[in-house]
Amino acid sequence: MKSASGKKVKTGNIEVYYKNGATEEQAKKISSLFNDAVQSSNSGSKSRKSFQVTKPSDTVLLKMVVDKSKLDQVGDETFYAISGLVSDSVFHGGPVNIMLTDNRFKPIRTLAFKKAEVIEPEKQETTFAMGDFDHHKAGDVDFYWKDISDEESKTIADYIVKNGSFSGGTAEIYMTKEGGRYILRFPMIESARTDPSILSTVDKVSKEIKDNVFANVPYSFYVTDEQLKTVKSWDY
């Protein structure tokens, strides 16, 4: 189907228009990506969500229809996470700018691409031995900490348990302080740490932890492999 907005593909309640250098295959990948994310987080949702993707140059522009009256309730990190998700899953890490629009794709505001830092293997931090850490289990999460006080570890753990994002299974969080920066390491199995929708959720949670626990101090959240080797990081 074609209109002034471009040709359209649809998966579930996700519709993606494409034109100006973007391909049908790319649009289909985007619609499937967001449909999978909606189904995993809110499978009962019947709300239609509309996007338009163009690629006039090396930089992709993804337009996203939003409710302007509710924008204040959504932090920019949510949209940066969407940008990163589409970049990694569809455009091989290439830049994807996000334009928030009305239902006619008229711009409200634009957020330039901001890629999360990926730590290269030669830059990996020193490995840790389990004996280096104190340990406490709260909720479904095993918390490990070193070089921070018990009181600090409890403050961090209390918020993470309250947040609830790591409940419903088993999770480990390793908490350290290095050069004045608090670092939380979250080991994940390979299938999870390479899943764009899961990484998008982790991105959102890392920002929530920053806002509620580390608002005024340097803090990083690392996704790691099972040996605590960093795979992806968010630095604040």
The predicted-structure confidence for 110-166, as pLDDT tens digits, reads as follows 989 876 555 444 444 556 677 789 999 998 899 999 999 999 999 999 999 998 888
In contact, 196 and 85? CB cutoff 8 Å:
yes
pLDDT at position 121 is: 47
CATH of domain 121-235: 3.30.300
In contact, 31 and 15? CB cutoff 8 Å:
yes
Mean pLDDT of 11-15: 92
Share of the chain above pLDDT 70, in %: 91
> What DSSP string describes the chain?
-EETTEEEEEETTEEEEEETT--HHHHHHHHHHHHHHHHHH-TT----EEEEEE-SSSSEEEEEE--GGGGGGS-HHHHHHHHHHHHHHHSTT--EEEEEE-TT--EEEEE---PPB---GGGPPPP--GGGSEEEEETTEEEEE-SS-HHHHHHHHHHHHHH-TT-SS-EEEEEEEETTEEEEEEE--HHHHT-HHHHHHHHHHHHHHHHHH-TTS-EEEEEE-TT--EEEEEE-
Rounded Cα–Cα distance for residues 8 and 66 (Å): 18
pLDDT above 60 for 43: no
Where is mean pLDDT largest: 42-51, 70-79, 90-99, 120-129? 90-99
CATH of domain 2-111: 3.30.300
pLDDT at position 156 is: 95
pLDDT at position 99 is: 94
pLDDT at position 42 is: 57
The alpha carbon dihedral of 178, 182, 187, 192 has a sign of negative
Residue 81: pLDDT band with limits 50, 70, 90? confident
Where in the chain are the domains? Answer: 2-111, 121-235
Amino acid identity at 178: E
pLDDT at position 54 is: 95
Mean pLDDT of 7-23: 93
pLDDT at position 200 is: 84
Mean pLDDT of 190-217: 88
pLDDT at position 116 is: 56
pLDDT above 80 for 70: yes
Mean pLDDT of 22-47: 82
pLDDT above 80 for 24: yes
- Would the pTM count as exceeding 0.85? no
In contact, 186 and 202? CB cutoff 8 Å:
yes
Mean pLDDT of 219-229: 90
Give residue for tokens 């929530």: 208
Q: Are strands 181-187 and 171-178 parallel, antiparallel or unpaired?
A: antiparallel
Rounded Cα–Cα distance for residues 84 and 90 (Å): 10
Is 5 strand, coil or helix? Answer: coil
Query: Of residues 175 and 45, which shows the higher confidence score?
Result: 175
Mean pLDDT of 74-92: 85
Rounded Cα–Cα distance for residues 23 and 54 (Å): 9
pLDDT above 70 for 80: yes
pLDDT above 80 for 169: no
Identical fold for domains 2-111 and 121-235, yes or no, is yes
